[in-house]
Amino acid sequence: MKKNPLLIATLLMASILFLGCAKTMTDDDKVLAKVSSKTITVGEFKSKIEKVPGYYSNIVDKNKKKYLDEVILEMLLYEDGIRRGLDRKKEVQEVLNEAKKKIVVARYVKEEVDDKIKVPEEDIKKFYDLHREEFKTPALWRASHILVANENEAKDILAQLSAGGNFEELARKHSMDATASRGGDVGYFREGQIIPDFEKVATSLKVGQMSGIVHTQFGYHIIKLTDKKDPAVESYEKARKVIESELKKNKRGELFNTMVANLKKRYSVEIKTDVLTAMDNPAKEKAPAGKTE
């Protein structure tokens, strides 16, 4: 029997294409679930997980089965809704058209405004140089204290401290506020952030120095200044992101306003102000003919 060279070549080519396709199959192409005639592949499911907003993506990633059930339920509801013709109902069409409008508008603004925002590095640096004072951090103090209810107890603790007692240990043992668990650490504060009587004494101390007994509305304090940071200007590296964000926001506003102005010119917008005013101040109904008020 004579072999057909064209047939052999065709079969050979088909085999090569088949083998080629088989080799490119990946785990993402595997079918994860079937819903009626439709399938969900591993890749499609991964893509859905990636589109879940920030915080929820971690939850979904740890509960894939539950999320898959939700995806399947959505497919079932949609499939049956289409079969019932719900997509053709007027109210559904109105919502779909409104959603389509918002999506198109968002895309338009992205392409015509957001994608065109560019802030050169020299502009960021120039802004920083001209507004350095705006990036100045205030003086900060850090203090610890021991707070007790009466003066006699405060005097006893002060005597123990003078004799070499450990401030942090005595604060944990005797202080009656939440700072006790931290060895009396109040944390950093700047001028005006804490009660005046406490601030006045704390800011007058040198780092490592301890006060006498200080009476405030909360009780009797013994204060120790543990650190102080002088006013300083933030470095360019630290301020850069804040500046860039602000300049981008300003640039976005400029581009957006220009876009709106151009669109209004192109499509000749006209607002009937008299009609608009009449909506808020409707005219009184005229009396029927032959009748007087």
Determine the Cα–Cα distance for residues 252 and 144; give it in Å rounded to an integer. Answer: 47
Q: Judge whether residue 276 has pLDDT over 80.
A: yes
- Per-residue pLDDT at 293: 41
CA distances from 268 to 194, 260, 262, 263, 277 (A): 59, 12, 10, 8, 21
Give the 3-state secondary structure of residue 53. coil
What confidence tens digit (pLDDT) does each residue in 73-125 have? 999 999 999 999 999 999 999 999 999 999 999 999 999 999 999 999 999 99
CA distance 44 to 164: 68
State yes or no: pLDDT of 230 exceeds 60: yes
Q: Is 145 helix (H, G, I), strand (E, B) or coil?
A: strand
CA distance 138 to 229: 8
120-134, 264-278, 279-293: least confident range: 279-293
3-state secondary structure (DSSP) of residue 19: helix
In which residue are the tokens 């009184």 written? 284
Give the chain's count of helices (H) and strands (E): 11, 8
Q: Is 164 left (phi over 0), alpha (psi -120 to 50) or beta?
A: left
Does the 139-230 domain belong in CATH 3.10.50.40? yes
Residue scoring higher pLDDT (206 or 2) = 206
Which of the four pLDDT bands, split at 50, 70 and 90, describes residue 57?
confident
How large is the average pLDDT for residues 185-206?
96
Band the pLDDT of 268: cuts 50, 70, 90: confident
* Band of residue 53 on the pLDDT scale cut at 50, 70, 90: confident
pLDDT (mean) for 24-36: 88
